[in-house]
A and B are shown apart, each in its own frame.
Chain A
Amino acid sequence: QQQVKQSPQSLIVQKGGISIINCAYENTAFDYFPWYQQFPGKGPALLIAIRPDVSEKKEGRFTISFNKSAKQFSLHIMDSQPGDSATYFCAASKAAGNKLTFGGGTRVLVKP
């Protein structure tokens, strides 16, 4: 049973455009929602995380939007750059530091 569904599986965006990745979760006990960026052959790197008591969090060009009633959250990458080309994973856990349930991943390609 996939508890965190991520879409799209892949995304192509022009340099300077906005990349949008969506995730939906089922378990209402989830209380912590991080996003990770992974380059080929490397481990995932934490990008940004949110808790359900806020509806939006921004760090630089990365913004998480959170809709608790719909059990959905999304990552927006503003002014996308070729260096942002990577696979992005959303995840969820019952608390920060607890085991994570990952979405299926989105491969983002930013064309120059």
Chain B
Amino acid sequence: GAVVSQHPSRVICKSGTSVKIECRSLDFQATTMFWYRQFPKQSLMLMATSNEGSKATYEQGVEKDKFLINHASLTLSTLTVTSAHPEDSSFYICSAGQRGESQYFGPGTRLTVT
């Protein structure tokens, strides 16, 4: 299957700072990338959908000014958590896909805000 990477795998930051997470499709060009959030022992919650070169579409209840998404190329999307607070601590996972093809997920990023 296709490979999607995320960086970093773990990050600890102080409250009030911003954190950037990168998602890359390594062996295919992803027309669409998705960002999910997952709390312990819960399902994945879709945060936003991003298409290369256009603004991300955010799900209801997700603050677009807090979770900035950039999809600058067909292989790279970034999620920036701005002014992070402890309640933003979570497991963030990206996925990448092409039209008509399955989505492939990255390994996830564990964010801890102290």
Contacts and interface: CB of A to CB of B under 8 A. Distances in A.
A54 interface: no
B34 interface: yes
A92 B97 CA distance: 15
Interface in A54-112: 89, 95-97, 99-105, 107
Contacts of A105: 42-43
A66 to B, nearest CB: 16
Interface string B93-108: 1010111111111111
Contacts of B34: 99-100
Interface residues of A, number: 21
Contact of B1 (A46, A96, A104): A46
Given A97-B31, A102-B44, A45 B100 contact: no
A96 B32 CA distance: 11
Contact of A103 (B43, B49, B100, B106): B43
Contact of A41 (B6, B42, B49, B108): B108
